């Protein structure tokens, strides 16, 4: 049963620290999405990759957030420096260019103190 | 732009009650429609989908019919169980709806609590 995996599952850090979240998409999937979920804003799309190329990162605060796909099996989302308002659950999802369904990972729950 | 509106929760039902969660959409073209479910502490899971008008998606006793005339995709279940307690998200794909990226546009989610 192929699944999207995310690490770490939980992260507590202090304001100003760097945070790196990792995602392993389902093997063979060529689109990767990063979402952020908060009580106030709901589910927000942060960035989107197709065949490892970033296509849309308009939802991401550019000054502190960065997203990359070093290879087809790894996507990363980095926050530097982190702020308390970044506290949220961050989800990665993957899918096929030819399809529409997105498959979500379990999320990284981030708390910035 | 495209958007999804779903009924606000929380919705609280007794076990074996009938469930309806309303979802309406605004889109150009012919989007595919989805319901995702999020159980506590987990990521979103696809529950069902429909790709064209009058299609009915179904899974685990849940059903939703793609109604183009009313731009709706309401989720229904005849008899809910405690294990159905979760947050339900309606979504559309803009892939064939004038959008260029194939993104999913989500509603804000409806929390369902089922009491024994």
Q: What is the pLDDT of residue A7?
A: 97
Distance from CA of B16 to the nearest CA of A (A): 29
Q: What is the mean pLDDT of each run of 10 residues along chain B (116 residues)?
A: 89 97 90 94 93 94 96 97 97 64 84 96
The B-side interface with A (CB below 8 A) comprises 32, 34, 36, 42-46, 49, 51, 89, 93, 95, 101-104, 106, 108-109
Distance from CA of A17 to the nearest CA of B (A): 25
Cβ contact B43–A43 (<8 Å): no
Within an 8 Å CB–CB cutoff, is residue A4 touching chain B?
yes
Cβ atoms A8, A29 nearer than 8 A: no
10 Å CB burial of residue B62 (0-12, 13-18, 19+) is buried
| Closest partner CB to B102 (pick from A43, A100, A103) | A100
- A59-103 pLDDT, tens digit per residue, is 898 899 999 999 999 999 999 999 999 999 999 999 987 667 899
Instruction: Tell me the chain A residues in contact with residue B43 when contact means C-beta distances shorter than 8 Å.
Output: 4, 91, 93, 104-107
State the average pLDDT for chain A. Answer: 93
- The span from the CA of B71 to the CA of A82, in Å, is 41
Percentage of chain A modeled with pLDDT above 90 = 73
H-only helix segments in A1-113: none
């Amino acid at each position: 049963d192929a699944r999207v995996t995310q690490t770490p599952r939980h992260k507590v850090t202090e304001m100003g620290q760097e945070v790196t979240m990792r995602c392993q998409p389902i093997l063979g999937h060529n689109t990767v999405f990063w979402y952020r979920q908060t009580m106030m804003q709901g589910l927000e799309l942060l960035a989107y990759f197709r065949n490892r190329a970033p296509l849309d990162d308009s939802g991401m605060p550019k000054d502190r957030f960065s997203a990359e796909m070093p290879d087809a099996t790894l996507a990363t989302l980095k926050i530097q420096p982190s702020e308390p308002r970044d506290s949220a659950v961050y989800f990665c999802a993957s899918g096929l260019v030819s399809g529409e369904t997105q498959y979500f990972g379990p999320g990284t729950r981030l708390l910035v103190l | 732009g495209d958007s999804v509106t779903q009924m606000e929760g929380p919705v609280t039902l007794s076990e074996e009650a009938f469930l309806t969660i309303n979802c309406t959409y605004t889109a150009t073209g012919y989007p595919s429609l989805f319901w995702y479910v999020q159980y506590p502490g987990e990521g979103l899971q696809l529950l069902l989908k429909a790709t064209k008008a009058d299609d009915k998606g179904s899974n685990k006793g849940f059903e939703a019919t793609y109604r183009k005339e009313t731009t709706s995709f309401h989720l229904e279940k005849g008899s809910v169980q405690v294990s159905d307690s979760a947050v339900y998200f309606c979504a559309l794909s803009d892939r064939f709806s004038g959008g260029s990226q194939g993104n999913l546009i989500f509603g804000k989610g409806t929390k369902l609590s089922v009491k024994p």
